[in-house]
Chain A
Amino acid sequence: MENLFQWGGGMWGGIGLAVLQIVTFVVILLVLIAFLLLFDRKVWAAVQLRKGPNVVGPFGLLQSFADLIKFVLKEVIIPAGANKTVFLLAPVITLTLALVGWAVIPVAPGWVISNLNVGVLYLFAVSSLGVYGIIMGGWASNSKYPFLGGLRSAAQMVSYEVSIGFVIVTVLLLVGSLNLSDVVENQAGGIWNWHAFAFPTIFVMFPMFVIFFISALAETNRPPFDLPEAESELVAGYQVEYSSSPYLMFMIGEYVSIVLMCSMLTILFFGGWHMPLPIPGVDGLPEWLLSLGGLLVFIVKTTFFFFLFAMVKAIVPRYRYDQLMRLGWKIFLPTSLVAVVIVSAYVTFQNASGRQEFDRLDADSSGYLEAPELAAVILPSGVDTDNDGKVSLAEYRDRARS
Chain B
Amino acid sequence: MALIAFYILSTIVVLSALFVVAARNPVHSVLWLILAFFTSAGLLVLIGAEFLAMLLVVVYVGAVAVLFLFVVMMLDIDFAELKQGFQNYLVVGVLVALALLAEIGIVAAAATFGGGTTFNANPGAATNAEALSRVLYTDYLLLFQMSGIVLLVAMIGAIVLTLRARPTVKRQNIAQQTGRKRKDAVELKDVRPGQGI
Interface, chain A (partner B; CB < 8 A): 11, 83, 86, 116-118, 121-122, 124-125, 128-129, 131-132, 135-136, 139, 147, 151, 154, 158, 161, 177-178, 322-323, 326, 376-378
Contact = CB atoms under 8 A, between A and B. Distances in A.
B27 interface: yes
29 contacts: A83-B25, A86-B31, A117-B50, A117-B126, A117-B127, A117-B128, A117-B129, A118-B51, A118-B128, A118-B129, A121-B54, A124-B58, A125-B58, A125-B61, A128-B57, A131-B66, A132-B69, A135-B66, A135-B70, A139-B73, A147-B73, A154-B66, A154-B70, A158-B66, A178-B51, A178-B129, A326-B174, A378-B125, A378-B126
Main secondary structure of the interface of A (DSSP, over half): helix
B57 A116 contact: no
A276 B56 CA distance: 38
Q: Which 9 A-B pairs have the closest CB atoms?
A: A128-B62, A121-B54, A125-B57, A117-B127, A378-B125, A125-B58, A118-B50, A125-B54, A118-B54
A161 to B, nearest CB: 7
Given A129-B61, A129-B62, A322-B172, A121 B124 contact: no
A147 B74 CA distance: 10
Given A177-B127, A376-B126, 8 more contacts: A83-B25, A86-B31, A117-B126, A117-B127, A117-B129, A125-B62, A139-B27, A154-B70
B34 interface: yes
Contact of B34 (A118, A125, A132, A322): A132
Given A118-B129, A128-B63, A11 B1 contact: yes
B5 to A, nearest CB: 11
B149 interface: no
B103 interface: no
A322 B74 CA distance: 21
A121 B34 contact: no
A125 B51 CA distance: 11
Contacts of B155: none
Contact of B54 (A122, A135, A322): A122
A178 B62 CA distance: 19
Contacts of A124: 54, 58
Contacts of B124: 378
Nearest to A120: B54
Name the residue among B63, B73, B125, B130 with the largest chain A CB count within 10 angstroms.
B73
B55 interface: yes
Contacts of B61: 125, 128-129
B42 to A, nearest CB: 12
A72 B34 CA distance: 30
